[in-house]
Amino acid sequence: MSDENKKLEEELESFRNSIGTADRSGNRKWVFAKKPSGKYYNYRTIVSWVLLSMLLILPFIKINGNPLFKFDVIQREFYIFSYPFFTSDFKIFAIGMITSIVFIILFTVVYGRIFCGWICPQTIFLEMVFRKIEFLIDGDRNKQIKLAKQKWDEEKIRKRLLKWTIYAVISFIIANILFAWVIGIDALRSLIVEGPIAHMSTFVGLIIFTGLFYFVFTWFREQACVLVCPYGRLQGVLIDKKTIIVAYDYKRGEREKGRARFKRGQNRAEEGVGDCIDCNNCVIVCPTGIDIRNGTQLECVNCTACIDACDEVMTKIKLPTGLIRYASEEEIVENKKFKFSPRMIAYTAILVILLGVLTSLLFMRSEVNSKFLREPGTDYQVVNESIITNEFQFNLQNKTKSTEQMHFNLKSHPSGTIEVIGLPIPLLIQPGQQIEGKAVISIPLKDISSYKEGIEIEVLNENDKVIDTYKTSFAAPFK
């Protein structure tokens, strides 16, 4: 390759040497994105409002007094569809996590970063809340650039103060929403009613998260997707030629002679000129500051803003839309239709198996967690030379949504008894509550066949329905 060609190739590939939001020395390049408009932006706005409403409303919903969702990591209290989950349900959580990860991988392999553009809270808050406020206060791209260059006069101070105050208020609201999902709406209400002094740690947490959200949405912005988000970083390994992405149809856009300015009445295809008129609209609208015509890039969050921008241009110059569109690389190069690859089929099979395991674990999950252990350091007792007794420690956890009245039955030895010490029977256990107690199990000597007799204890509710069973051993004299 000649030196000239090498230089040209280096120049063409130079965009890969730095990210769109920083210059070569690593300094921040502020992205002044143009306000998007078009079909996809309208759809995304609808999806965003639905998701934001869910985010806001769901923590307030309770069923039978239980929150619909709660993920209190600190107190280890979890509710999913109002079903309480406990650390003892770790197995289900672990499989749930694996299922989610495999789902994300599969989804990404097939549909690329659709999640980033349409569902990710970072994108939704940044593009649909914070940036819309910015457009409202500072105006569109050109006005924002002018304002940024402007000296700190009355207009700039007023606009900046207004914007930053609104951003701070919204960041505080987002922190409250996050806390409503984590600590629950009741704990949040207590903080509001009783004041920060009574709930200092929660209040400090709220302020820290408000600060974090303010920093992310006011300054850090798209860099969270490019530099921090692990999902974004995974794209490079997950996306292949068959993945659906936001792609520039370079075959049509460039043709043999490359892109060229628009000329009225010109037949571009006949002249071998690409359909891209180099108007730059797809670049200035990009919130991550990239040029999609350079191909798939780490920064692209598949927000579809460039699709809308280019479609608008194509419509104006009376050329078919879709120069930038959802398509796979293969589809663009070979004009092929989308097909499931063996890798996708394998991921789908794994996902189906994992979902099956998860569903059966959820259905098989007992309503009560019971455990009976012989009192450490004790041996059997002989009563009236005919009855053998053992002392047990028991632990019961109510995993249902309602208060349960429980009692025990010695299923393996109907002639035996279980007597609970120091607690009223039936045992009244609140939803999620865990109680510990002692019980004495007595079995007639004549019904014991081994010095380590196997026994089975049933836990029953007030309707005498068996809600759990526990097998353990009972110490007895040698026979």
Q: Which residues bind ligand SF4 (CB under 6 A)?
A: 246, 253, 276-282, 285-288, 290, 292-293, 300-306, 309-310, 313, 323-324
Q: Which is nearer to ligand SF4, 110 or 324 (CB)?
A: 324
SS3 content of the chain, % helix, strand, coil (to 5): 50, 20, 30
Q: Which is nearer to ligand SF4, 39 or 339 (CB)?
A: 39
**CB 315 to ligand SF4: min, Å:** 11
Residue 425: name the closest of 412, 408, 401 by CA.
408
What is the distance between the alpha carbons of residues 116 and 226, in angstroms, rounded to a whole number? 11
**CB 184 to ligand SF4: min, Å:** 36
Q: What single DSSP character describes residue 198? A: G
Q: What single DSSP character describes residue 463? A: T
**CB 277 to ligand SF4: min, Å:** 5
**CB 292 to ligand SF4: min, Å:** 4
> For residue 241, which phi and psi values (nearest 5 degrees)?
-65, -20
Q: Which is nearer to ligand SF4, 326 or 372 (CB)?
A: 326
What is the distance between the alpha carbons of residues 415 and 446, in angstroms, rounded to a whole number? 10
Q: Which is nearer to ligand SF4, 244 or 448 (CB)?
A: 244
Q: Which is nearer to ligand SF4, 87 or 142 (CB)?
A: 142
| Tokens 């809308």 -> residue | 308
What is the distance between the alpha carbons of residues 53 and 400, in angstroms, rounded to a whole number? 29
**CB 246 to ligand SF4: min, Å:** 4
**CB 183 to ligand SF4: min, Å:** 34
What is the distance between the alpha carbons of residues 387 and 153, in angstroms, rounded to a whole number? 94
User: Is-contact 122 225, C-beta < 8 A?
Assistant: yes
Containing 473, the helix (H) or strand (E) segment is strand 466-475
Can you spell out the DSSP letters for 138-177?
Answer: H-SHHHHHHHHHS-S-HHHHHHHHHHHHHHHHHHHHHHHH
User: Is-contact 186 68, C-beta < 8 A?
Assistant: no
Q: Which is nearer to ligand SF4, 21 or 400 (CB)?
A: 21
**CB 282 to ligand SF4: min, Å:** 3
Q: Which is nearer to ligand SF4, 315 or 450 (CB)?
A: 315
User: Is-contact 115 107, C-beta < 8 A?
Assistant: yes
**CB 126 to ligand SF4: min, Å:** 12
Per-residue tokens: 300: 């692209």
**CB 166 to ligand SF4: min, Å:** 25
Type of residue numbered 97? M
Q: What single DSSP character describes residue 447? A: G
**CB 472 to ligand SF4: min, Å:** 60
Q: Is the dihedral of CA 67, 68, 74, 76 positive or negative?
A: positive
User: Is-contact 381 474, C-beta < 8 A?
Assistant: no
What is the distance between the alpha carbons of residues 171 and 183, in angstroms, rounded to a whole number? 18
Beta-bridge partner residues of 390? 441
Q: Which is nearer to ligand SF4, 306 or 476 (CB)?
A: 306
Q: Which is nearer to ligand SF4, 59 or 253 (CB)?
A: 253
Q: Which is nearer to ligand SF4, 313 or 459 (CB)?
A: 313
